Structure 1
Amino acid sequence: INGKDVTVLVSKYIQGRELDVEDEDNYRMAEALLKSRGVYMHDINILGNILIKEGVLFFVDGDQIVLSQESRQQRSVSLATRQLEEQIKAHHLIKLKRAETEENTEDIEYYKSLIADLDALIGEEEQTPAPGRRFKLAAPEEGTLVAKVLKNELKK
């Protein structure tokens, strides 16, 4: 590329085995390795996306590897990443709706957790104000008073 040699990973030549991501320790170790590199893999939980050979991990399906939450504090993500994550969220929302329609509790919890993880990654967490730092709704008569004042001001 641009006159330089580039190492390319061709997964069919890796004589490793699939990393069992259903094993919690394996999953956490792979996730920690990605995090240490400043990235996050949306489909890390898919069997076959990570191979292991002699204790070395190979992330063979990198199309959904994006900047981690911490890396996003130093630089912004690309338009392609934003679009990818919008599509991923839309997919999760569709699957969640289907699970709710079918009353599949296990899938409901699963897709809710995926959506929460994605929201945390992209910074869309629901922010709750500190205790004692909430606005109060005005009494209905106060709202009417404001409307009357505005109406009178507009007449001028």
Structure 2
Amino acid sequence: MKWDALEDEPCSLARTVAVIGDRWSLLILRECFLRIRRFDVFQASLGITRHLLADRLKKLVRFGVLRRIPYQESPKRYEYILTQKGLDLYPIIMSIVHWGNIHMVDSRGRPMLHEHKNCGRMFDPVMVCSECGEPLTAKAVHVHPGPGARRSSPVHAKAQTPSRRTVRSG
């Protein structure tokens, strides 16, 4: 796999990494979800160079994650707004935040708390099965090749070996 060709790989994770797989893109998305929209505010908040910020914003716009909307004519300036495709990244960002809240906090505790507007309570994100609603864990999921899988993928090879009965503990 070539780093600059990830978007062409027949793998959803590789294609996603092509879009958000560097620290600056993830941090820009964090700022977007915190309702930051303007170049100068991104730069001040992140401490990123103008060139690097412009490059990452351009990439997120090219992939349809953000859209650029003018808010000033002279000089022309833009806001960067999450598209639906960008908003659909929220569970990914929240999963990373949750992992950090569990494994990377210091003695002061979590740097941010998240409140669900509907019920007014602080929450932790949970990934659940779309079919039955049960929480998902790595050990409770089987992966099968989909129609877009490459024939030589490890998932294809595993799918063609005799099946073994999976025993769930707990």
Give me the TM-score of the superposition, normalised by structure 2: 0.24
Q: Which has the higher helix share?
A: 1
Which has the higher Rg, Structure 1 or Structure 2?
A: 1
State the structure with bigger RCO (CA 8 A, min sep 6), 1 or 2: 1
